[in-house]
Structure 1
Amino acid sequence: MIFAGRFANKIMVITGAAQGIGAGVARRAAAEGASLLLVDRSDLVKEVAAEIIAAGGTAQSHMCDLESYDGAASAIQAARDVYDRVDILINNVGGAIRMRPYAAFEPAQIDAEIRRSLMPTLYCCHAVLDVMLAQGGGTIVNLSSNATRGIRRVPYSAAKGGVNGLTQALAMEYAEHNIRVVATAPGGTSAPQRRVPRNAEGDNAQEQAWMAEAVEQVTGSAFMKRYGSLEEQIAPILFLASDEASYITGSTLPVAGGDIG
C-alpha cells in the first residue's frame, strides 16, 4: 500500500540501498514523495536511483564504504550538497558475513562482523547529527535484528545488540533537540538472491550446514513459523520514519513473526 505524499518535501538518506530491504525502502519512499540520496559501496545503487527517476521520483546515488568514518561523512556531505538538509536517515547497512559456532570464528572474522553490522550505523548517526541539530530536528531509523538471540552468528548478534543500545542512548540524549531515533529488528526475510554476496569467499559445505541450522532456528523461534516478505519489513521502517510515529523514540520494533529477539 502506497501512502501518497507521506514523505513530500522530505529528504531521506538510505544506506545499503543497492539491493534487498534498502532498495525496497527506496522505491516505496520515492513513490510516497521523498527526495532520496541512495548510498552503497556497490555500483548497483546507480541502477536503483535510475529506476526511481524513470518512474518519476527524485533520487541521487552516492558510492562509498560506510565501514569507515570518512565514508559516512562523505554520504552525509553528499546529501547536503544535493539537498542542503537530511530529514530522515535510514541506516540499513549490515548483515552476517558468516554463520558458524562462535568457537570456529577467527579473530579477524569477529572484527569483520562488528565492522559490517555496527560501525556503519554508529558512524552515520554521528555524521548526521550536526546537520539535524542545525536544522532543528530529524529522524534516524536504524535496522537491528532479531538475531540478538540466535545461533551460529554471535559476533553479528553482538553488533546488532550494539545497534539497540545506540538507538536507546542516542534517542535519550537528543530528544530535547527534536531528533527521534528508532529501530526495527527484522527476522528472517525472503528476498531475491543477492547480487552482491554477503560472504565474497563463498560458503563451504560445513558453513552451509551451519547456515541451515541458523535458518531452522529462526523459523522455529517465530510464532508464525515462516520468513517475512520484503514488504513486511519495508512498511514498519517507513512508518517509524514518518510523522505518524512522531511520539515514538528510543524503541526497537521486532518485525519477526512474534520472535522478539
Structure 2
Amino acid sequence: MGYQEVFGTTFAGKTVLLSGGTGGIGLALAKGFADCGATVIATGGSEKRLAGAQAQARPNLSFERLDVRDHDAVRARFEKLGELVDVLVNCQGVARPGDEWDEETFLAVMDINLNSAMRLARAAYPGLKARRGNIINVASMLSYLADPTVPSYTASKTGIVGLTRALAHQWGADGIRVNAIAPGYHKTEMTKPLWSEPEAADRIAQRAAAKRWGTVEDLVGPTLFLASDAAGFVTGAVLPVDGGYHTG
C-alpha cells in the first residue's frame, strides 16, 4: 500500500515550506506532501537544480530559490507567508567528503546543515504557533555513527538530533511539534559513488536488516506520518528510516 492510499488528502488546506526540495530526498518529500493535498513551496539554493525541478511543478507545488545561509532572506520569506505555514521541513544538506577537515569547509557545511535549520525554525515560529504546526528535520544515520571522511556532516547531523529535542521542549507549550527522520543509505546523487559500485553497494545492503538500499520514496510515508495529526502526541522524536542499517 502506497502513502497516497494511507494518507489520501490528509494535508488538504495545509501549507508546507520544504527547504532543500529541488532534488533527491527533498524533492520526493515535496511531491509526497503535494500528492496528499498540501500546498508546497520547495526551495533550493542551486539555480541548476531549480531549473531541473521546475518540470515537476504543479498548481500546489512550486519551486523557488532561497539561500538558507542568508538570515534576511529567510526572515523575509516567512514574513511574506505570514501565518500560512503548517509544516516546515528542513531537508537542506551538503557533504564534502575528504574536504571537511579544512576549517573553512567544516564551518560552511555546518552552516547549511545545522545552523540554517535553526534559522528557518526561528523564522517560521510565529506562523507555526498560529497554526499549531510542526517541524520535520532531516537527520541521518550519521547522527548515530561516525564517518571520518565527513566530520562536519557527521557533527551537523548529530546536532540536528539535539536541536530537534530542544525545539520540541521549547515550543511544545505553543502547540508546535518538532520531530526528525534519520535516513540511511538511499539511492541519491550524493550516494551514487557507492551504489554504482557493486561491491560497496552489496556490502552496505548486507549490513541492513532489510538487505537492500533505500529509495527516496521510502522516506515519504514516515515523514507524512510525523507531520500528520496521527502523530499528535509525538514530539522530540527521531525516526530512523534506514532499513535497520545503524543497528546492524
| Same fold flag (TM > 0.5) | yes
* Distance in 2 of aligned mates of 1:160 and 1:214: 23
CA contact (8 A) 1:17 1:23 kept: yes
* Distance in 1 of aligned mates of 2:200 and 2:95: 11
Q: Structure 1 residues 220, 67: CA separation in 2 closer, same or farther (over 3 Å shift)?
A: farther
CA contact (8 A) 2:31 2:61 kept: no
- Deviations along 1:115-174, whole A, 9 cap, x unmatched? 2211221111111112222x1411100000001213222221110111100100110111
Q: Which residue of 1 aligns with 2:118?
A: 122
Which of 169, 172, 195 is 1:172 aligned to? 169
Q: Provide TM-score, normalisation by structure 1.
A: 0.81
- 1:51 equivalent in alignment to 2:56: yes
Q: Structure 1 residues 118, 221: CA separation in 2 closer, same or farther (over 3 Å shift)?
A: farther
* Distance in 2 of aligned mates of 1:220 and 1:157: 22
* Distance in 2 of aligned mates of 1:27 and 1:13: 12
Give 1:46 deviation, angstroms.
5.5
Give 1:72 deviation, angstroms.
2.3
Give 1:51 deviation, angstroms.
2.7
Q: Which residue of 1 aligns with 2:140?
A: 145
SS of the residue 2:153 aligns to = helix
SS of the residue 1:112 aligns to = helix
- Deviations along 1:81-101, whole A, 9 cap, x unmatched? xxx51000111001322246x
Structure 2, gaps ≥5 residues long: none
Size of the alignment, in residue pairs?
Answer: 237
Give 1:220 deviation, angstroms.
5.8
Which of 163, 178, 181 is 2:178 aligned to? 181
Q: Which amino acid aligns with 2:70?
A: S
Q: Which runs of 4+ in 1 moved over 4 A?
A: 212-221
SS of the residue 1:228 aligns to = coil
Q: Which residue of 2 aligns with 1:4?
A: 8
Structure 1, gaps ≥5 residues long: 199-207
Q: Which residue of 2 aligns with 1:132?
A: 128
Q: Structure 1 residues 251, 58: CA separation in 2 closer, same or farther (over 3 Å shift)?
A: same
Give 1:215 deviation, angstroms.
7.0
Q: Provide TM-score, normalisation by structure 2.
A: 0.85
Superposed counterparts of 1:84-123, under 5 Å? 84-99=83-98, 105-123=101-119
- 1:231 equivalent in alignment to 2:227: no
Which of 140, 144, 155 is 2:152 aligned to? 155
